[in-house]
Amino acid sequence: MDKLKFAIAGCGSVSGNRYFPNLGDLSRGWLAAVCDSVAERAKCRSEEFQVPGYTDLDEMLAKTDFDLLVNLTNIQSHFQVSLKALQAGKHVYVQKPMTVAVAEATRLIDEAAERGLKLVAEESAGLNPYYIAIRKVIEDGVIGKVVWVRSVCTHCGPAAIDNWPTDPTWFYQKGAGPLLDVGIERLHLLTFLLGPARRVTAMSGIRQPEVVVRTGPCQGKRINVEEDDITLVTLDFGDSLFAMLDTVYVNFEAYRAPDLEIYGTKGVIASFGESHAQRLWLYQCDPESGIRGWQELQLIPQATQLPSLRIVGLAHAIDCVVDGTEPIPSGEHARHCIDIIEKAYAAARTGFTQQVTTVL
């Protein structure tokens, strides 16, 4: 198999912002069909890419020949859509988070294993050369022994993003919220850099009971916030290595601090991520060598050597199916991060630190 046929389920904001505009970067796969419960969306993408369009997933699975289902539906639908695809004999690539519960994640992992299918999680920290470079700096001992990490994931929320193309209500309903929407990305990153978490504690709640859509087709719509819109998490990675993570919807997106800081015994890594063109700074304080001070590191390969980072996970999923290799963003890694989220909410409710029982 040199070329792989894939179908996309979900033609809303995520697929429109990240996937459909970049499908031309895929050299080993081609789009065979699209599906969305909103007929207008399915029709639009069907006509744009000249492929069959469906409003019913079961119908697409029954009528269209393809190998990989690309699950870009809303968070609350991820489990059922992926399960149906696996049961139909399709490999699955699923947008983050893979599911909203550990039990659901385990069901997908077991279903894929029993059927000999690939299950690939969307989050791609382990495929991003920027984060691979950061991990190498850590592994090379440049900043000594890592002591603690701070990660920023405060986000304006879809209702406050200019011209958000679809109704953002579901982001604020149960089963979504900032921890599952964007915090999951940082949990994948932290566990990629530091390994599996062992314990978690958190504070969580709803700070803004109502939000108003700022611009776009739903401008002015008032949304009742049902899921926690602020969660502050502390992670224990063992051996006195800790990390702190904030995940908040605050109706604006403005901060000047690094979005990732890694403190070691000999220095600090300060990362200014995608919104700041991925600038990486290193502070070293090494009495033996006499090195002291900040320097900017240039460790990132040219973007032309890679598919768009917005779809690097999908390109990787296609490679895994075509070549028969195991995915780097695996179902097990995704389940571990979902476990952290479950335990964070439990810690916030009970006031007690929770043990994380899954591994990568």
- Rg (alpha carbons) of the chain, rounded to whole number: 21
Number of CB atoms found within 10 A of residue 171's CB: 25
State residue 276's pLDDT score.
Answer: 46
Which two structure tokens, joined as six digits, stand for 42?
Answer: 């399915």
**Cβ proximity of 192 and 126 under 8 Å:** yes
Q: Are 196 and 360 in contact (CB under 8 A)?
A: yes
Strand partners, 91: 68
Helix (H/G/I), strand (E/B), else coil: 114? helix
pLDDT at 1: 57
Residues of the chain with CATH 3.30.360.10: 125-306+338-355
Beta bridge partners of 235: 200, 243
**What is each CA distance from 292 to 111, 125, 214, in whole angstroms?**
53, 30, 46
Please list the alpha-helical segments (H only) found in 4-93.
Answer: 13-14, 39-49, 57-63, 78-87
Q: Which segments of the chain belong to CATH 3.40.50.720?
A: 4-124+308-327
Q: Is residue 87 a contact partner of residue 272, using CB atoms and an 8 Å limit?
A: no
148, two tokens: 């603690």
> CB–CB of 229/207 below 8 Å?
yes
Longest dimension (CA), the chain: 68
pLDDT in tens, the chain (360 residues): 568 999 999 999 989 989 999 999 999 999 999 999 999 999 999 999 999 999 999 999 999 999 999 999 999 999 999 999 999 999 999 999 999 999 999 999 999 999 999 999 998 789 988 899 899 999 999 999 999 999 998 889 999 998 899 999 999 999 999 999 999 999 999 999 999 999 999 999 999 999 999 999 999 999 999 999 999 999 999 999 999 999 999 876 666 788 899 999 999 999 886 544 567 888 887 667 666 788 887 765 544 445 677 899 999 999 999 999 999 999 999 999 999 999 999 999 999 999 999 988
Alpha carbon distance 173, 316 (integer Å): 31
Q: Would you call 315 helix, strand, or coil by DSSP?
A: helix
User: pLDDT value at position 293?
Assistant: 83
Question: Which CATH homologous superfamily contains domain 125-306+338-355?
Answer: Dihydrodipicolinate Reductase; domain 2 (3.30.360.10)
- The length of the chain, given as a count of residues: 360
Kindly report the number of other CB atoms within 10 A of residue 8's CB atom.
29
- pLDDT of 334 reads 97
Record the tokens describing residue 157, joined without a space.
Answer: 């929320």
Q: What is the CATH number of domain 4-124+308-327?
A: 3.40.50.720
